């Protein structure tokens, strides 16, 4: 019932909340399958952090960082969604759960046509908001009428008659119908309508709740006191499914019998469900014990979870939700949220899963939903089918349970209905869903719920760690622990056993499958931290394999299950060894493995700042053809395929964190016939803690010479607010960089290898700002142009705009069988001086770890060897200059530590002789570096024997 066990684990910890949320850096991304039809255009929901409460009013957030963004996106309206709410007086409830504060949640409407994801990430990057997200618009969950089933056989199926012999409910128990409204004078509804006698219809807000004359409920969609259906009659049918008047000699009966219902209209004049989660809050604030939500969609979000948390924790209300009608196991919200009783549908006359009903490990229980006869607007009746019908039938039963067990809290009511359901996996094709508990515990049984005593233990949260980097790859041993809360009758000797529920069990080996939890009292929590489940990932596991685990809970006759997914053998590695957290992948992407979704990775974050990167990846082009893994238009190119998945050297060989792998471009429509070996290098401590090095060795595996080959890194930088970025270059460092005009934060890409350097800055706006226009797509021809031509700046006007950057090297001629090595440093910093210093440090480190060839003569500078070699006490060397010039001559040890500066400043033309002492140095290899204005020379020498 408590939706604890339905999310996919990619890293170390899950607590099931949302489907479109932040990664570890709080960046927003849409869940798969979400389109613009799933949310209101140009509308966001924001929640301000409590620290800024004093700067918040009902229609303004007076924080400079936000106001600047508000101006850039042309905000047209901003208002508190719950203006009458105050922060909770106490932080926690009696079970230690944090109360939810709704008082700082705003709706924002704007006119800009900028990318909504970029706007959200810019807002979150201010560090003023707890979240920013779209305003999701769900749809009612019903399917067309099924005229072959016209009676209420479902009442027998759920044993309602036997349940009514024990309890017919209580008029003090209220079921909120959060829907498109109801039919207030329907002869089979009117007597069960819950009235607000504290606010009669007299034009006055008598109860001072902010709603004038909400005697019969409220119409949130059109903001009036008449919750009667208009454009969409869905809610009138749902009302009767839960709470039609029973035993009155008229029409139909309902499971809720004597329980009352409160209509909460959430649809606008056109029937769109614009106020679903606000309706949950309204119902919670106005006396509902249960709230039914027969609607939903693929869009979740923190706002929806906040509303449910508030209703559950702050107001002790049970939220019952339809699981959706897509015949899919994809997450469906609000049913997949935490603290929700999610209802799948069975046929009304048997217990087979209804063909339309969703299924999956987020389902708690099933209820009849096919051919359900119920009330309809204008005093009529109709048969409708859908999880929209199954959900209120379950909500009506929950009303009876609450009536019979008035001391139960909301979650206990839901658990009682869930744990006493009849198992149905032996019927029809239901066995298909048995392994993963895709139909929950079975079909509800009201009589069982009122007569059977049983524990009900749920596992939440679930923690999965590998005691290392928490990226679960072959050979890792996973340690799985959790909290086990018993909501109902005490256990005597509770045990928990883990198994693999789906995917070949050969992908993993369970080393320790059992733990004993013992006696667990009502509303008591225990854990298995001292005796974790342990699982090892086998070499047979394919990349990104989803392993569904089942934890079997048993205590005598009591059997229950917890389900959760873990993604193993991931083809990306998060790098968190230094101040810049990022991700490297098996196929040329950097920052995110799923780049346009901004998922499967950390982005590119400097300390506590939000991610600097929206999308980053390698591009390799020849004669106009480009192989890459960055955007083309609405989707990304997938031209690289992994040959050897990315792995980590542990411990690092060349740096504190080394990765390596290999891919080719065989999937590309115009394949170049290349194979790429790649490595990355990262260090933990300054001066090397603000960059990562990415190296690519590109081999021509084809039979044709590649005569104009370029390779480069593309990055759509958002530093951190996309709308206020400028791009420029530092020629001396061979670096292109982007910075924020409102925060003085910088990101750069530096070429490290010795080939030609090229930089192209793009204005990522309609028209391209005078350069290449990629606002409608990024073609291969455009990509090759950015690799092979130059543009120094972007975002030059005003405070800047959204920009992208490409740093590349070439052209190279690559004969069949030949290779070329290219390497780049990706850098973050807090000033231009900062990233230039990191660029210099990266060059030094890269030269050391790659064994750079010694260079004796470059453009008028000649250097001799260091002598004697090995050196014991005093070292000497000579430099000949064709003309006087600025030089910096330094010595570094093999780890890249600066040892001494031999000379710095303008050096005269002609022969120059230099000496330095080494008598106090440790024996080993050293590195003499001569840095000119735009050139470097290197010499190795040995101190000691």
Sheet with 657-664: strands ordered across? 641-649, 657-664, 674-682, 691-700, 819-829, 746-751, 735-740, 725-730
Task: Find the DSSP H helices in 748-891.
Answer: 780-788, 832-849
Sheet with 514-518: strands ordered across? 8-9, 558-568, 545-555, 494-502, 514-518
Q: Is 609 a catalytic residue?
A: no
Element at 481 (helix H, strand E): strand 477-486
Cis peptide bond N-terminal to 705, omega within 30: no
User: What CA–CA distance (Å, rounded) separates 351 from 360?
Assistant: 17
Element at 921 (helix H, strand E): none
User: What burial class does residue 95 get, using C-beta atoms within 10 Å of its C-beta: 0-12 exposed, 13-18 middle, 19+ buried?
Assistant: exposed
Closest CA to 393 of 355, 338, 326, 343: 343
Residue 228: which residues within 8 A CB-CB, separation 6 or more?
181, 182, 183, 184, 219, 265, 377
- CA distance to 193, 197, 245, 246, per residue, from 187 (Å): 11, 21, 8, 11
- What are 554's two structure tokens? 């048993």
Q: Is 388 a catalytic residue?
A: yes
Task: Find the DSSP H helices in 269-425.
Answer: 276-285, 302-309, 387-404, 410-419
User: What CA–CA distance (Å, rounded) separates 643 from 189?
Assistant: 65
User: What CA–CA distance (Å, rounded) separates 268 from 220?
Assistant: 8
Other Cβ atoms closer than 10 A to 217? 29
Out of 85, 186, 234, 609, the active site residue is: 234
Out of 236, 388, 503, 721, the active site residue is: 388
Closest CA to 292 of 271, 323, 269: 323
Out of 179, 183, 802, 834, the active site residue is: 179
State the DSSP code for 314. I
Q: Are 692 and 681 in contact (CB under 8 A)?
A: yes
- CA distance to 95, 103, 351, 629, per residue, from 100 (Å): 14, 9, 38, 42
Q: Is 808 a catalytic residue?
A: no
Length of the chain: 945
- CA distance to 275, 460, 822, per residue, from 46 (Å): 15, 27, 43
Helices and strands in the chain: count of H runs, count of E runs? 12, 53
Half-sphere exposure of 248 (CA within 13 A, CB side): 18
User: What CA–CA distance (Å, rounded) separates 227 from 217?
Assistant: 6
Q: Are strands 477-486 and 457-465 parallel, antiparallel or unpaired?
A: antiparallel
Could you give the residue numbers annotated as active site?
179, 234, 388
């Amino acid at each position: 019932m408590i939706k604890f066990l339905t999310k996919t684990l990619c890293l170390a910890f899950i607590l099931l909340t949302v489907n479109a949320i932040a990664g570890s850096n709080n960046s927003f991304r849409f869940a798969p399958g979400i389109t613009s039809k799933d949310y209101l255009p140009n509308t966001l929901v924001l929640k301000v952090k409590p620290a800024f409460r004093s700067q918040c009013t009902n229609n303004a957030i007076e924080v400079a960082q936000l106001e600047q963004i508000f101006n850039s996106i042309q905000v047209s309206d901003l208002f508190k969604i719950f203006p009458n709410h105050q922060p909770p007086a106490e932080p926690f409830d009696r079970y230690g759960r944090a109360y939810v504060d709704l008082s700082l949640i705003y709706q924002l409407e704007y006119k800009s046509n900028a990318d909504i994801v970029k706007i959200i990430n810019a807002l979150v990057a201010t560090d003023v908001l707890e979240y920013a997200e779209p305003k999701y618009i769900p749809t009612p969950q019903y399917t067309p009428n099924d005229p072959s089933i016209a009676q209420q056989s479902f009442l027998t199926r759920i044993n309602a008659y036997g349940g009514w012999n024990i309890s017919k409910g209580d008029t003090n128990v209220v079921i909120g119908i959060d829907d498109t409204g109801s039919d207030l004078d329907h002869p089979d509804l009117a007597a069960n309508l819950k009235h607000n006698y504290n606010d009669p219809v007299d034009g006055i807000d008598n109860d001072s709740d902010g709603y004038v004359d909400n005697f019969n409920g409220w119409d949130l969609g059109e903001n009036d006191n008449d919750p009667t259906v208009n454009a969409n009659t869905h809610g009138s049918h749902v009302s009767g499914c839960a709470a039609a008047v029973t035993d009155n000699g008229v029409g139909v009966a309902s499971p809720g019998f004597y329980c009352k219902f409160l209509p909460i209209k959430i649809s606008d004049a056109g029937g769109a469900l614009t106020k679903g989660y606000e309706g949950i809050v309204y119902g919670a604030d106005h006396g509902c014990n249960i709230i039914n939500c027969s609607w939903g969609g693929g869009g979740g979000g923190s706002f929806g979870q906040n509303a449910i948390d508030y209703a559950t924790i702050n107001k002790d209300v049970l939220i019952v939700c339809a699981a959706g009608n897509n015949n899919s196991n994809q997450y469906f919200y609000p049913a997949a949220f935490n603290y929700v009783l999610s209802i799948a549908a069975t046929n009304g006359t048997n217990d087979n899963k209804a063909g339309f009903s969703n299924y999956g490990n987020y389902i708690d229980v099933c209820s009849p939903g096919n051919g359900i006869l119920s009330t309809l607007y204008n005093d009529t009746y109709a048969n409708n089918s859908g999880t929209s019908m199954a959900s209120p039938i379950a909500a009506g039963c929950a009303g009876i349970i609450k009536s019979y067990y008035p001391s139960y809290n909301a979650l206990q009511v839901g658990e009682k209905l869930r744990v006493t359901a009849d198992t149905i996996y032996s019927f029809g094709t239901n066995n298909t869903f048995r392994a993963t508990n895709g139909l929950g515990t079975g079909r509800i049984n009201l009589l069982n719920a009122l007569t059977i005593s049983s524990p009900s233990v749920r596992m939440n949260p679930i923690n999965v760690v590998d005691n290392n980097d928490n990226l679960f790859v072959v050979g890792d041993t996973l340690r799985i622990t959790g909290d086990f809360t018993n909501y109902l009758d005490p256990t005597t000797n509770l045990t928990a056993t883990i198994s693999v529920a789906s995917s070949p069990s050969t992908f993993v080996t369970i080393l320790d499958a059992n733990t004993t939890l013992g006696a667990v009292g009502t509303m008591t929590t225990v854990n298995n931290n001292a005796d974790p489940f342990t699982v090892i990932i086998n070499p047979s596991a394919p990349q990104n394999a989803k392993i569904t685990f089942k934890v079997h809970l048993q205590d005598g006759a009591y059997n229950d299950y917890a389900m959760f997914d873990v993604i193993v053998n991931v083809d990306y590695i998060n790098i968190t060894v230094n101040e810049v957290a990022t991700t490297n992948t098996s196929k040329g992407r950097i920052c995110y493995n799923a780049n346009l979704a901004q998922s499967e990775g950390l982005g590119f974050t400097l300390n506590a700042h939000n991610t600097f990167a929206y999308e980053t990846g390698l591009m390799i082009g020849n004669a106009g053809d480009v192989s890459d893994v960055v955007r083309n238009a609405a989707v990304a190119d997938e031209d690289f395929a992994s040959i050897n998945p990315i792995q980590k050297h542990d411990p690092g060989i060349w740096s504190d964190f080394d990765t390596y792998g290999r891919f080719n471009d065989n999937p590309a429509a115009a394949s170049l016939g290349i194979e790429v070996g790649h490595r990355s290098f990262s260090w933990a401590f300054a001066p090397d803690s603000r960059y990562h090095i990415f190296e690519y060795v590109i081999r021509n595996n084809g039979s044709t010479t590649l005569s104009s080959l370029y390779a480069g890194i593309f990055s759509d930088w958002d530093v951190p607010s996309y709308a206020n970025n400028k791009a420029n270059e530092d020629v001396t460092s061979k670096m292109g960089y982007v910075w924020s005009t409102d925060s003085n934060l910088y990101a750069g890409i530096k070429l490290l290898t010795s080939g030609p350097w090229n930089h192209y800055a793009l204005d990522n706006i309609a028209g391209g700002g005078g350069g290449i226009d990629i606002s409608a797509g990024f073609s291969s021809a455009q990509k090759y142009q950015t690799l092979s031509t130059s543009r120094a700046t972007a975002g030059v006007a005003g405070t800047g705009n959204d920009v992208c950057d490409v740093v590349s090297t070439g052209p190279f001629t690559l004969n069949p069988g030949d290779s070329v090595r290219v390497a780049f440093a990706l850098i973050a910093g807090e000033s231009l001086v900062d990233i230039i210093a990191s660029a210099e440090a990266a060059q030094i480190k890269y030269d050391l770890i790659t064994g750079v060839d010694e260079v004796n003569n470059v453009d008028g500078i000649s250097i001799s060897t260091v002598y004697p070699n090995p050196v014991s006490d005093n070292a000497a060397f000579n430099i000949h200059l064709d003309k006087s010039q600025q030089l910096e001559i330094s010595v570094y040890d093999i780890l890249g530590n600066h040892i001494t500066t031999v000379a710095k400043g303008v050096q005269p033309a002609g022969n120059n002789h230099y000496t330095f002492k080494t008598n106090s140095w440790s024996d080993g290899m050293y590195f003499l570096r001569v840095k000119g204005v735009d050139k470097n020379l290197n010499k190795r020498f040995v101190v000691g024997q």
